[in-house]
Structure 1
C-alpha cells in the first residue's frame, strides 16, 4: 500500500496552546500538534464509550483513562478541566509526554529520542498498531515540522498491512486485519444479514483497529474506515458475526420495521462499519464519507440489504440507552443518496426531505394525507388519498437521468385491506409521452419494492404519476419509486 499523504501544513486552532504547553513542559510543540492531529484531527471531542471496558477519549489530544489522570495531576488541573478545556487538555498531554520522557531518561535535545515515547503515549498494546501509530505521527510531523520528522522517525517504510494480510476477503480495496473476536451467525432466518450499522470508533483509526483485533477487547466490527478514507480495514468476514452492538433488536426504535426480529441479538443479522472519529465532532471528512459510501454500496449489494433509512442505521439508534454514535452531525440523507448512486439507484420519496433535488422530486397534492401508521414505508412515511371517480389529481414522482438508457422502475407502498387493487402507475417522459401504465394491487405486497417494468428512458426528467381516480371506497398509497440500472 502506498504511503498516505501527510496532512496539509496549515495553522491549527490551537497553535498558541501547543507552543505554550511545549515551552512549559519542555516538549516539542510540533510533536504535540502532530499527536493532536492523529488523535482527533484537532477536534475538541467530548468522550463517549464505544467499546465496553475502554475508557472514552477527551479533548484535542484524545486523552483517556490513566493517561488522562496522570496528565491532569502533572498539569495541576482537575480531571474535568482536563477533559473540557482545550488549553488544559493540551497541557495535560504535554505533561504526560514530559513524565514519559523522565521515565525513559531520554536526551530531550535529540529529536529521535522523542520517537521512543510515541508508542507508550498511544496506549496501543499490539506491536503492529504501535508501528502504524508511529507512522501516522511521522506523517503529521512531516507537515508540522519537517526537521523533527526527518530526524525523529525511524528509517522510512511504506505503510504495510500485517504479514500475510493481503486484500480483504469481502472488499478488494480493503486491508485484511483478522480479529479473533467473532463467532458464527445463527443458521436460521435471524442470521441472514439484513441491516448495516454505522459506528464511530471514538478514537483514531489505528487505535480503533488495534483494539478490535486485540483478543482482550472482546469486541470487533466487520470494517473500520480511516479518517481520510484512504484505508479500510476488514476485521471479520461478512458471513460471520462480529461483536459490535450490545443490544437486542426493538422495532419501535426503527419506525416499526422488521418487527419479526424483536428480541434477537442485533449482531446476529447486522454488518458493522466503524469510522475513525467521534460522535461529538461537528463534521466528517468528505473523503471518509465517500469511502464509506462505496463500502456500504458493496456490502448492501453483496448481502441483499435494502438501501434505506431502516436498513442503514446508526449504532445509537438501535442502542440508545448508552450509545449515540455516529452522532448528530453524520450527514444521513446525502450519505444514503451517495450509497444509492454508487449502486446505480435513484429513489424518489413522497417527502422532499428524503430526496436529492438534483435527480429526484415529488409533487403530492395537498388533499393527500401524510401518515406513518402502517409500517413498511420508505423514508419517514407515506401519503394516501381516497379514490374518487371524478378525481383529477395524482402524486408525481420525477427522476432525472444524465443520459438516455435502460432502467427498471420499482414502486413501494404499505398494504392494507382498504387499499386499491387497481392502483395505476403512469410512466411519462418529459416530452409527455406515456411509456406505460402499470396497475398493481396495493392490498398486498407492501413494505417491499415491486417491479413495474423496464424501459429505455431519454435523458432528462421522467415522471411516474399515481392518480387517485377510481371507484370510491378504497384508498391509494404513494410512498416511493426506485430507479435502478
Structure 2
C-alpha cells in the first residue's frame, strides 16, 4: 500500500461499476474472412486485439488507443452511438463515415457480426486501418508516430481541426498506456508525425472572434452546422438539460457539424479534463430535446450512459461550473426543477444521463459546495481485490477491482483478518457511498491501517 496523490471520487464510481467486466471470447470467422493469428498468452478482449494486430499488421498500441478513445473498450451490447457507430472500435455507417461498410468488404464479415461480436469488430477496424495505411504508403508500420494521418482518416471528422482533436487524443492514450477491461499497453513516448495536420491549429486555439462568440468564458467556440439548429428563441430560457453523448468528444463535435445529423447542443464537455466546447449560441435554439428546445440550454457530456468510467471528477466539476454560470447569468434557480436530465423532459425517449450520473454530487457542485469528505486514498495491488457489503469475508461481494487501483477511503473499521502476498491485517476501508448507487461498501485488502484515517 502507498499513499498517493488525490484521486477523484467519480473514478471510484467508474471502477466499481466496470471492474468486473468479463472476458469476451473470440468468435469463429466465416471462410472468406481473414483468419486472425491465435494468441495463447492472453484470452478474451486482449487476445482479440493481439489477433487483429497480427492479422493486419497494425500496431497493437494503435488499435487499443483508438478503441479506448472511442469506447473505453466497451461494446455497449451492440447498441449504436449517436452517429450510428458500433462496438469497441466504433465502426460507423452514416453519410460521412463508411468504416462499417469498408470493414465488411475487407473482411467478408456481415454487418451484424461486425456490430455485435467484439472480436470481429476489432478485426474489422484493423482491416480498415490496414487499408488506409496501404493507401498512405506507410512502410515502417512499427513506427507509431507514422500512423497519425491514418488514424485521423479513420475518424472521418467533419473538418481538419476536429480530426486533429481526435488523433491527438489517441496519441495521448498511447503515451499514457491503457489498463482496462483486461487489456494492457505500456506507456509509449511517441512523437507523432502529423503530416498535413502539422499546420492545422488545434481545436481550442482562441482568436478574438472565438472569444467574442462564446457565452461562457471558459468555453472554446466551434460552431455546429447551421442546418442543425434554429436562429433565435420563441420562449424564455428557463431550464438546463444534462445529456450524455453516447459517443466520444471529438465524434460528437464532428456529428454536430454534419449538416445531415439534424441535432446539436449548446455545449459539449470532455471526460478526461472537462474541456468545454460551445457549438450553438445560447440565444439560438439547439435541437436536443424536441418540443422543449425553445426554453432549454443543452449540455452534452462525453461518454455512454451504461459506462460510468466516462464521468470523471474533472467532467463533473467543469460541467457544474458551466451550469452555475448559465444559471446565475440567466436567473435560473439552481435546483432539480430547473436543471434536468434528458430523460426527465416530457416527450423524449432518451435515458441519459442514466443511473450512473451522480446527481447529488453534481448539484452540490452547482451550488458552490464541496461535497467531498476528508480526502484519504490509497492504491490497491494485485488482482481481484474484492469490494464487500460489510467488513466480513462472509459478506456478499459487490464487485472486484483490477489492481492496482486508486480508491477513496472515508473511514476504517476492524473486521475479519485478510491475508494476501504475505501480509495479514484486519483493518477494512469503508469506501465513499456512490450517491445511492452503492452504499456501505468495504474493500477486502491486507494493507495496514492508513495513518490519519479515522475509524467509522
What TM bracket, shorter-length normalisation? 0.5 to 0.7
Contact 1:205 1:226 in 2 (8 A): yes
Choose which of 81, 86, 90 in structure 2 pairs with 1:62: 90
Shift in Å, 1:96: 1.6
Contact 1:18 1:30 in 2 (8 A): no
Shift in Å, 1:97: 1.0
Q: What's 1:79 paired with?
A: 111
Q: What's 1:198 paired with?
A: 242
Q: What's 2:204 paired with?
A: 161
Q: What's 1:91 paired with?
A: 123
Distance 1:197 1:228 in 2: 21
Q: What's 1:394 paired with?
A: none
Change in Cα spacing, 1:41 to 1:50, as seen in structure 2 (3 Å) is: closer
Q: What's 1:328 paired with?
A: 355
Choose which of 17, 23, 27 in structure 1 pairs with 2:48: 17
Per mean C-alpha deviation after superposition, the further-off stretch among 173-182 and 143-152 is: 143-152
Matched, 1:304 2:331: yes
Shift in Å, 1:316: 2.9
Shift in Å, 1:305: 2.0
**Partner deviation per Cα, 1:149-199 (whole Å, 9 max, x = no partner):** 325455699845256323762211111112334334445xxx111111111
Change in Cα spacing, 1:321 to 1:297, as seen in structure 2 (3 Å) is: closer
Choose which of 230, 235, 240 in structure 2 pairs with 1:183: 230
Contact 1:67 1:96 in 2 (8 A): yes
Contact 1:124 1:207 in 2 (8 A): yes
TM-score, normalising length from structure 2?
0.61
Shift in Å, 1:80: 3.1
Q: What's 1:109 paired with?
A: 141
Distance 1:332 1:168 in 2: 30
Change in Cα spacing, 1:47 to 1:280, as seen in structure 2 (3 Å) is: farther
Choose which of 281, 299, 316 in structure 2 pairs with 1:289: 316
Distance 2:343 2:81 in 1: 10
Choose which of 313, 318, 330 in structure 1 pairs with 2:345: 318
Q: What's 1:211 paired with?
A: 255
Distance 2:248 2:338 in 1: 26
TM-score, normalising length from structure 1?
0.57
Contact 2:161 2:201 in 1 (8 A): no
SS at match of 2:332: coil
Instruction: Point out where structure 1 has 5 or more consecutive residues left out of the alignment.
Output: 1-10, 249-265, 345-355, 359-485
Distance 1:304 1:47 in 2: 42
Alignment of 1:386-465 (within 5 A): none
Q: What's 1:241 paired with?
A: 285
Change in Cα spacing, 1:120 to 1:109, as seen in structure 2 (3 Å) is: closer
Matched, 1:32 2:32: no
Shift in Å, 1:297: 1.3
SS at match of 1:196: strand
Distance 1:152 1:20 in 2: 26
Change in Cα spacing, 1:330 to 1:129, as seen in structure 2 (3 Å) is: same
Contact 1:49 1:323 in 2 (8 A): no
Contact 1:126 1:214 in 2 (8 A): no
Q: What's 2:191 paired with?
A: 150
| Alpha-carbon RMSD | 3.2
Aligned length in residues: 312
Q: Which has the higher strand share?
A: 1
Distance 1:29 1:44 in 2: 18
Distance 1:156 1:143 in 2: 25
Distance 2:58 2:372 in 1: 51
Change in Cα spacing, 1:215 to 1:329, as seen in structure 2 (3 Å) is: same
Distance 2:77 2:301 in 1: 16
Q: What's 2:364 paired with?
A: 337
Change in Cα spacing, 1:308 to 1:50, as seen in structure 2 (3 Å) is: farther
Distance 2:322 2:78 in 1: 27
Q: Which has the higher contact order (CA 8 A, sep 6+)?
A: 2
Distance 1:80 1:322 in 2: 25
Shift in Å, 1:146: 6.2
Shift in Å, 1:131: 1.8
Change in Cα spacing, 1:148 to 1:89, as seen in structure 2 (3 Å) is: farther
Contact 1:203 1:277 in 2 (8 A): yes
Distance 1:206 1:15 in 2: 25
Shift in Å, 1:18: 2.1
Change in Cα spacing, 1:117 to 1:315, as seen in structure 2 (3 Å) is: same
Q: What's 1:278 paired with?
A: 304
Distance 1:167 1:62 in 2: 35
Distance 1:333 1:98 in 2: 46
Matched, 1:171 2:203: no
SS at match of 1:96: helix
Instruction: Point out where structure 2 has 5 or more consecutive residues left out of the alignment.
Output: 1-18, 24-44, 178-185, 374-456
